[in-house]
Amino acid sequence: MQRLAVGRLSRQRGLTLPETAAALIGLAIFILSILAVHVERMSTSTSSVLRLDAEKLARELAQQVQGNRQSDVRYENAIGVVCKADANNLNPQQQALRQVACWQEKVSAALPSGMGAISLDEEAAPPAYVITVSWSQPGARTASYLLRIDAGFTAAARSAARAAN
């Protein structure tokens, strides 16, 4: 009887090829699942950081706009205006456009495919500036952050300022 038990043990050593393959497939699926969760978390984290950066940039321009409440100064997209450090002898409108141009350059540098824009909604009551910051999210999606702030003047004051110029 003892011989029979020894013979059985010698045949049962190790794992069979199908058992090994099943164990490796199970391990591979487990590792890929962990990696997928990690990649998703990294993507979500990156998206959150970009959104916070966009919000910070929008609020930065909003503070500049709110710090200058002159009705004859218009903060809008500075097309053709270059951000220059030496801004001597600029009138208030030129200074406002330079601030917007410098802010747009900052947005472009801070965010992937970053673009910043500001527009005045005079039809709103009261009139308001709309600040938009757009960027590319990981995975080639586009995202935007919008901030609406009170322009600080009435539509009548804006019309009177334009008529005076």
Span 75-131, pLDDT tens digits: 887 777 888 777 677 888 888 888 899 999 999 999 999 999 999 888 888 888 999
What is the residue-wise DSSP string for 30-78?
HHHHHHHHHHHHHHHHHHHHHHHHHHHHHHHHHHHHHH---TT------
Please indicate, yes or no, if residue 115 is contained in any of the structural domains.
yes
For residue 115, the cross-strand partners are 134
* Helices 17-67 + 92-110 axis angle, to 10: 170
- What's the domain count of the chain? 1
Q: What is the pLDDT of residue 70?
A: 72
DSSP 86: -
- Tell the residue number behind the tokens 């998703």, with chain if given: 40
Share of the chain above pLDDT 70, in %: 78
**Encoded amino acid at 147, one letter:** L
What is the average per-residue pLDDT within 65-80?
78
Please report which confidence band the pLDDT of residue 18 belongs to, taking 50, 70 and 90 as the band edges: confident
Question: Is 158 contained in some domain?
Answer: yes
- In this prediction, residue 165 carries a pLDDT of 45
Residue 161 clears pLDDT 50, i.e. is over it? no
Length of the chain: 165
Q: What is the pLDDT of residue 53?
A: 92
Within a domain: 155: yes
Residue 14 covered by a domain: no
Band of pLDDT at residue 61, cut at 50, 70 and 90: very high
Res 155 pLDDT > 70: no
Cα separation, 2 vs 151, in Å, equals: 97
Across the beta sheet with 115-121, the strand order is: 115-121, 128-137, 141-150
Beta strands 115-121; 141-150: pairing state:
unpaired
Distances (CA, A) of 115 to 26, 87, 106, 126: 46, 23, 9, 26
SS3 6: helix
Radius of gyration of the chain (CA): 31
Assign 11 a pLDDT band (cuts: 50, 70, 90).
Answer: low
Q: Let me know if residue 72 belongs to a domain.
A: yes
Residue 7 inside a domain? The answer is no
pLDDT score recorded for residue 147: 93
Indicate whether 41 belongs to any domain.
Answer: no
Q: Tell me whether residue 147 is in a domain.
A: yes
User: What is the residue-averaged pLDDT of the chain?
Assistant: 80
* The pLDDT value given to residue 111: 92
- Both tokens assigned to 92: 């208030």
**Domain limits for position 97:** 52-164
